[in-house]
């Protein structure tokens, strides 16, 4: 009997497992999803982690072996069949009826910046994906949508021509170790950006401005993977652009916003940059050895102070453990 493999994926919070011959490809997976879930291939996007990112049918490599995905997490990003049916009905209902009288040609709105509108539709986040298995996914969706619609973020993405496939939240439990907490992650220079929206106890959300600053860092990874002087210069430029184009700047409007959290001060007060960056991830804690190397020559005073403070705390802990033995 020929060897078979099982592929498991998540769709709208539900887990699905499908069986395939060992030599099957990702195209076979798309066909089987259509047969099993009635979701057409053209509506399918697969978010595969780690490494591959978001793949859209018909896929960059249609012959990608399914056996190479056995140890990876797969999330199907696609509407439910009922939602697809509703969309089709809404589209049909919205089609203009035949008129028995001539219609005057529409005149473009002279006061609207059509070039800006076109750029905003191009340089943005393609899909918003909250985690459906965590509490209040709709609240997470509103948080992510606010980030996507933030005037400062939109202005900076237009300027740098940034397009990101998926903006999603991360599960704090999956990105926390004894020594570090990951705040943000950029996969494959913009295929997907994950942000740590929630507090570690899942009882609330982190402050909006801190998450927005993390997003600025992750957007810089669309251009630079390494954390050299070029990366930090671009990060600071994006942060400045976001602040300058935020028409709510000054914090006066935030007190009435859903995601204002006055108790969230980031890391040691204002040192949001106090951690290390590894592989496109913004990590609190982590290995800060690079601060002693040649890259430290290009870092600003704030980054060096943060790294130095962490090193002092580490040495104090080591000394305390040594004294106790």
Catalytic residue numbers read 218
232 closest CA partner among 268, 282, 292: 282
Distance CA 217, CA 206 (A): 16
Residues paired with 260 in a beta bridge: none
54 closest CA partner among 160, 118, 127, 145: 127
β-strand 4-11 against 125-129: which pairing, if any? Answer: unpaired
β-strand 164-169 against 125-129: which pairing, if any? Answer: parallel
Contact, 156 vs 238, CB < 8 A?
yes
Q: What is the maximum span of the chain, computed from C-alpha positions, in angstroms? A: 93
Query: What distances in angstroms separate CA 31 from CA 15, 71, 306, 311, one per listed residue?
Result: 18, 21, 51, 53
Residues paired with 181 in a beta bridge: 176, 284
Burial of 44 from C-beta contacts in 10 A (0-12 / 13-18 / 19+): buried
Burial of 126 from C-beta contacts in 10 A (0-12 / 13-18 / 19+): middle
User: What does R_g of the chain's alpha carbons equal in angstroms?
Assistant: 23
Classify residue 107 by its DSSP letter.
P
CB count within 10 Å of CB 137 equals: 16
β-strand 281-285 against 277-278: which pairing, if any? Answer: antiparallel
β-strand 45-49 against 164-169: which pairing, if any? Answer: unpaired
Distance CA 159, CA 244 (A): 13
């Amino acid at each position: 009997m020929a060897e078979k493999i099982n592929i498991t994926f998540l769709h709208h919070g539900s887990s699905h497992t499908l069986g395939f011959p060992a030599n099957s490809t990702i195209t076979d997976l798309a066909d089987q999803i259509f047969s099993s879930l009635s979701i057409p291939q053209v509506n399918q996007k697969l978010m595969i982690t780690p490494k591959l990112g978001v793949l859209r049918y018909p896929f960059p490599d249609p012959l990608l072996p399914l056996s190479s995905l056995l140890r990876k997490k797969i999330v199907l990003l696609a509407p439910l069949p009922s939602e697809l049916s509703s969309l089709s009905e809404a589209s049909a209902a919205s089609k203009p009826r035949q008129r028995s009288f001539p219609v005057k040609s529409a005149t473009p709105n002279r006061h609207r910046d059509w070039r800006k509108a076109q750029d905003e539709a191009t340089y943005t986040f393609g899909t918003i994906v909250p985690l459906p298995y965590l509490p209040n996914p709709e609240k997470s969706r509103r948080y992510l949508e606010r980030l996507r619609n933030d005037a400062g973020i939109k202005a900076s993405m237009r300027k740098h021509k940034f397009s990101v496939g998926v903006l999603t939240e991360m599960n704090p439990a999956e990105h926390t170790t004894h020594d570090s907490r990951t705040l943000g992650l950029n996969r494959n220079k913009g295929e997907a950006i994950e942000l740590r929206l929630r507090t570690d106890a899942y009882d609330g959300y982190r402050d909006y401005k801190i998450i927005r600053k993390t997003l600025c860092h992750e957007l810089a990874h669309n251009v630079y993977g390494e954390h050299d002087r070029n990366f930090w210069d671009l990060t600071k430029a994006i942060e400045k652009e976001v602040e300058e184009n935020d028409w709510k700047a000054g914090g006066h409007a935030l007190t009435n916003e859903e995601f204002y959290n006055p108790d969230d001060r980031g890391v040691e007060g204002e040192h949001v940059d106090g951690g290390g960056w590894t592989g496109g991830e913004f990590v609190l804690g982590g290995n800060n050895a690079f601060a002693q190397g040649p890259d430290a020559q290009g870092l600003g005073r704030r980054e060096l102070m943060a790294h130095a403070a962490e090193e002092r705390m580490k040495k104090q802990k080591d000394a305390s453990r040594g004294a106790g033995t």
